[in-house]
Chain A
Amino acid sequence: MFLAAVSMLWRRWGRRILPLLLGLAWPLCAPAAQVTIEPKIGFGGVFQLGRPFPLEVCLHNIGRTVEGVVEVEAWKRGAPPAGAYPVRYQRDVFLPSRAQRTLAFTVNAELLSRPLVIRFNATHGSASHTLDLRSHFSPAPLVLSVSGGGTLPLTSLAASFTNRIVSLAAAGLPSDARALAGVSHLLLYDQSLRDLTRWQLQALDDWLVAGGRMIIVASLNFALYQEPKLARFVPARVTGVTRIRFTDPAAAGASPAIEGVWAHTVSGVSGRTQIAAEGLPLLVENEWGRGRVSYLALDAGRPPLAGWAGLPQFLQTLLAPASELSPAPRPRWDEALFSRLLLSSWFVDAYIPTRALFFAILLYLCGLAVLLLKWRRQRGAPRTLALWCCGWMVGCAAAGYGYFSRGGQMPEGVLLGATVMDETDGDYVEVQTNLALFSTRPRDYSLGFGPSWLELAPLPQPHAAAPAEQAAPAVMYRHLGAATRVQLPLESFGHQLLRARHVERAGLNTRIEQHDGVLHLEVNNRSGSDLTDCWLIAPGLRVALGELPSGGSLRKALPLHAADAPAAEQPRQADTGGSLRALRFKDKTRDLLFQDAFFAYAATAALWTGPTAVFIGWFKNPQPRAEVGDPRVRTEQYTLYRAIVSLPSEDE
């Protein structure tokens, strides 16, 4: 009977249920994910110590499909008392069964004594890999040589050339400009860039703008140099090739000329021609933001030039380290200044409900007074009054708790950005952004900085009482596609200070010149934002220039001697530094930022040893330099544009 029933059930349901049960049981029986990690560090295994470098993490999965997180832990050298602190980089990854994925990171490790740790964490399985950095670092910046068909004789450069030269395929160029920070020169020879992605090209562009040096060496395949992706960097229009007679310019006629050297014929030169022969520009240099592109129109990889004994020396002159541009004065940014900034009423009123608390206390006490009065006049039974009293207390406590913890306009955090844009050559400005993130609640923040930032450093918190591990910032860089966000966990009423730097095209251009005791100022504003509170400060001169609207320009010629200037424009202080310190703005926050951050005396004192002229202007509605992506976090941004120009002294 029983067997018959089982047999009937099997016939009716068994065939349908069995595949389902097997399907459900399969994940339990399937092998766990087996992931191995294979890293590729820097460029050909080399990176410059102290600078960000690319790290490729190749994951091989020979187990089941898995989804997890790859985390890279590097160590940075922090200031006391925090000391060294870890920085983590994370990227989500989905690994199908029996597949491999390569993930690109840009890592900044400053300590060699601690290894780089790469971890893969998933629900079903994990893996880790430790990398000793001591065998990979180079103290000097790297020179990258990217060549397609031919090769340049770089191996015979003089021994005095200490930079490591790394040969690289074009596909190996990183997609993040920060990864190129440890590269001084990029040498392109006979190489097409057509296969580079948009992000790789953007990274090259950003790296050049930030101060990189690109050397493009001509080859017989002149069509390569006409491709749009490479042609945008070449400071001339390549039209063809020809053979010329080349004489070493350094030898000044002492060495014999080389006959039949292959050279590009060009037109429309857009840079400075440094060397020319037979009417052809042979070496053209073009400024690119703070960087430079040098174009050598000679084919140095083919005979007869490849066999020239003076070629290594000639190439080494092209690879000479760039003369350091005078760095823009660093704004002061520390906890003391941040405390003073946050004491301004706009901030304190935003989250300290003094007024609301006053009225709440008043209402509560009034209610108690009324109940007490009723009791005194013996209106109502004592028990009823006692119950009313208890109800009033409990009700007030609950209502107040609800209001003060969730109600009102109290922001969950404040992101304060203080940015100073320094004029550089051309339309580019160096942007230094100081950020302070303050949280009124314990929560995680995710900061986005846009694609082109080059440096981002959290500042350790110098609490004397805090232990070292608490003072160290817990920063995590989370790579999400092409963008990188900074994850910051903050405690209630905690804060974190950060500094960021990048170079961008601002559309602002300032020219200050001195002729015959008259200062000529010309400012063109094509930035898309109005400038307000503009000032020109020079020795014996301080002039309020008012507003400079977007699209407008300003031209002024002002006598430098105070006696010639109108009385209102005569400062008491004769030197520029003194005049700047006496400058005041209506907005107290601007005042504080100007005096104590952007033109802090200790940071800028060295500027005022000689005669200097300064043009400044505040952006009217500046765009936030960083975003949290949460409307509950209030964002305040202040941006100052400044151009500091050294004037010739009286003797000059």
Chain B
Amino acid sequence: MNAVLHEHVTVFFSQRHGLPALFYPLGLLALIEFLLLTPMFLDAQAWRGAGSLFKLCAAIAVVLTIYFTLRAANLAYAPERFKPLKYWLHERGYPVGVVARGQVSFLLVHAAATLLLIVPLLVWAGAISHTPPAALAATLALIAFYTVCYGVWGLAGLALCEREVDTREMVSRGFTVLLMVIAMLVYFPLNPIVYVLAVASATEPGRFSIAGVDWPPAVANIAFHLAYGAAGLAAHRWALARLR
């Protein structure tokens, strides 16, 4: 196993320092899902409340998983327990690619674990809302996709400002929020929450038109996030190379 991945998994899972990043989203989503079905939290259209349960839960799940994955990628939980990047690059002499692969693999493991934990809650919400299975599967896939695409910028932030824990967290979150807002201003469904809401309710948002070419919303959204994720990976690599 990749030594970086092994160290991260040991600290996060075996030593249980990263469990809050897994159980906070689970606990929060469970609480919100239950409250959404409680009559006192339902409005005058309560009889339709169950119909929009999955949409709301999916939107909240996007926010929670992106936020906690960014934190996990930033090694915000017990940062003193992780060996610094210079240790891997200089003392152990690992190439940049090995370190990058280890960190990205850890990101994938964390995203998969988070998603697995919240999947039952989302599936139940989908069943209560009578969401078509295709929309349910597409929503779950989108949440995983967004989690990874936004999470790699957490790794980039870590590589850029490793010493200042607070700064890198602020930079990662600030950059993510700023990008979400800018993307939303350019084309509303580029925002992951907006697009997940559309997919979960099996509706088609308006098409994206640029330079006289019409883009289907799915293509526009996925292409944008693929580009964003690839840029994050490139930034991560570049920052690691700079440390070397």
A352 CB contacts on chain B under 8 angstroms: 37, 39, 49-50, 128
Most-contacted residue by chain B among A347, A360, A397, A402 (CB, 10 A):
A397
B124's partner among A339, A372, A400, A438 (CB-CB below 8 A) is A400
B1-43 Cβ-contact flags toward A at 8 Å (1 or 0): 0000000000000101001000000110010011001110000
- Is B230 an interface residue when CB atoms closer than 8 A count as contact? no
- Is B47 an interface residue when CB atoms closer than 8 A count as contact? yes
Whether A347 contacts B47 in the complex (CB less than 8 A), given A357-B33, A390-B116, A405-B130, comes out as yes
B120, A357: Cβ atoms under 8 Å? Answer: no
- Is A351 an interface residue when CB atoms closer than 8 A count as contact? yes
B96-127 Cβ-contact flags toward A at 8 Å (1 or 0): 00000000000000000000110111011011
B37, A397: Cβ atoms under 8 Å? Answer: no
B120, A364: Cβ atoms under 8 Å? Answer: yes
- Is B78 an interface residue when CB atoms closer than 8 A count as contact? no
Smallest distance from the beta carbon of A496 to chain B beta carbons, Å? 14
B34, A358: Cβ atoms under 8 Å? Answer: yes
A393, B127: Cβ atoms under 8 Å? Answer: no
Smallest distance from the beta carbon of A372 to chain B beta carbons, Å? 8
Smallest distance from the beta carbon of B85 to chain A beta carbons, Å? 27
B50, A493: Cβ atoms under 8 Å? Answer: yes
Alpha-carbon separation in the docked complex, A342 to B38 (Å): 15
Q: Which residues between 376 and 429 of chain A lie within 8 Å of chain B, taking CB atoms?
A: 376, 382, 390, 393-394, 396-398, 400-405
A353, B128: Cβ atoms under 8 Å? Answer: yes
Alpha-carbon separation in the docked complex, A347 to B50 (Å): 12
Alpha-carbon separation in the docked complex, A78 to B16 (Å): 64
Smallest distance from the beta carbon of A470 to chain B beta carbons, Å? 11
B14, A382: Cβ atoms under 8 Å? Answer: yes
A400's partner among B45, B48, B52, B123 (CB-CB below 8 A) is B123
A404, B127: Cβ atoms under 8 Å? Answer: yes
Q: Which residues between 205 and 220 of chain B lie within 8 Å of chain A, taking CB atoms?
A: none
Most-contacted residue by chain B among A361, A390, A442 (CB, 10 A):
A361
B27 CB contacts on chain A under 8 angstroms: 365
A404, B51: Cβ atoms under 8 Å? Answer: no
Whether A360 contacts B124 in the complex (CB less than 8 A), given A343-B47, A352-B50, A492-B130, comes out as yes
Most-contacted residue by chain B among A393, A398, A441 (CB, 10 A):
A393
B129's partner among A340, A347, A492 (CB-CB below 8 A) is A492
A357's partner among B34, B47, B123, B126 (CB-CB below 8 A) is B34
A340 CB contacts on chain B under 8 angstroms: 44
- Is A348 an interface residue when CB atoms closer than 8 A count as contact? yes
A492 CB contacts on chain B under 8 angstroms: 51, 129-130
B129, A401: Cβ atoms under 8 Å? Answer: no
- Is B182 an interface residue when CB atoms closer than 8 A count as contact? no
Q: Which residues between 115 and 153 of chain B lie within 8 Å of chain A, taking CB atoms?
A: 116-117, 119-121, 123-124, 126-130
- Is A354 an interface residue when CB atoms closer than 8 A count as contact? yes
A322-352 Cβ-contact flags toward B at 8 Å (1 or 0): 0000000000000010011011000110011
Smallest distance from the beta carbon of A357 to chain B beta carbons, Å? 6
Q: Which residue of B lies closest to A355 (CB)?
A: B37
A401's partner among B30, B47, B127 (CB-CB below 8 A) is B127
Alpha-carbon separation in the docked complex, A376 to B19 (Å): 12
Q: Which residues between 45 and 95 of chain B lie within 8 Å of chain A, taking CB atoms?
A: 45-52
- Is A440 an interface residue when CB atoms closer than 8 A count as contact? yes
A361, B47: Cβ atoms under 8 Å? Answer: no
Most-contacted residue by chain A among B34, B51, B124, B129 (CB, 10 A):
B124
B127, A405: Cβ atoms under 8 Å? Answer: yes
A393 CB contacts on chain B under 8 angstroms: 116-117, 119-120
A360 CB contacts on chain B under 8 angstroms: 124
Smallest distance from the beta carbon of B118 to chain A beta carbons, Å? 9
A354-377 Cβ-contact flags toward B at 8 Å (1 or 0): 100110110011001000100110
Smallest distance from the beta carbon of A378 to chain B beta carbons, Å? 10
A339 CB contacts on chain B under 8 angstroms: 44-47
Alpha-carbon separation in the docked complex, A413 to B48 (Å): 12
B47 CB contacts on chain A under 8 angstroms: 339, 342-343, 347-348, 438, 493
Alpha-carbon separation in the docked complex, A364 to B52 (Å): 23
Alpha-carbon separation in the docked complex, A336 to B126 (Å): 27
A259-302 Cβ-contact flags toward B at 8 Å (1 or 0): 00000000000000000000000000000000000000000000
Smallest distance from the beta carbon of A132 to chain B beta carbons, Å? 38
B128, A397: Cβ atoms under 8 Å? Answer: no
Smallest distance from the beta carbon of A359 to chain B beta carbons, Å? 10
B37, A343: Cβ atoms under 8 Å? Answer: no
A396, B120: Cβ atoms under 8 Å? Answer: yes
B128, A357: Cβ atoms under 8 Å? Answer: yes
Q: Which residues between 147 and 203 of chain B lie within 8 Å of chain A, taking CB atoms?
A: none
Alpha-carbon separation in the docked complex, A214 to B116 (Å): 75
Q: Which residue of B lies closest to A492 (CB)?
A: B130
Alpha-carbon separation in the docked complex, A339 to B39 (Å): 13
Alpha-carbon separation in the docked complex, A492 to B52 (Å): 10
Q: Which residue of B lies closest to A389 (CB)?
A: B116
A440 CB contacts on chain B under 8 angstroms: 50-51, 130
B16, A376: Cβ atoms under 8 Å? Answer: yes
Alpha-carbon separation in the docked complex, A353 to B38 (Å): 10
A400 CB contacts on chain B under 8 angstroms: 120, 123-124, 127
B37, A357: Cβ atoms under 8 Å? Answer: yes
Whether A357 contacts B124 in the complex (CB less than 8 A), given A348-B39, A492-B51, A492-B129, comes out as yes
B121 CB contacts on chain A under 8 angstroms: 361, 364
Smallest distance from the beta carbon of A467 to chain B beta carbons, Å? 12
Smallest distance from the beta carbon of B91 to chain A beta carbons, Å? 28
Q: Which residue of A lies closest to B44 (CB)?
A: A339
Task: Spell out B's residues near A (CB within 8 Å).
Answer: 14, 16, 19, 26-27, 30, 33-34, 37-39, 44-52, 116-117, 119-121, 123-124, 126-130
What are some 5 contacts across the A-B interface (CB < 8 A)?
A: A348-B47, A357-B34, A393-B116, A397-B120, A493-B48
Q: A339-B45, A401-B124, A404-B127 are in contact. List 6 more A-B contacts (CB 8 A).
A: A343-B39, A343-B46, A352-B49, A492-B51, A492-B130, A493-B129
List 6 tightest A-B contacts by C-beta distance, closest first. A493-B51, A404-B127, A405-B127, A342-B47, A397-B120, A400-B124
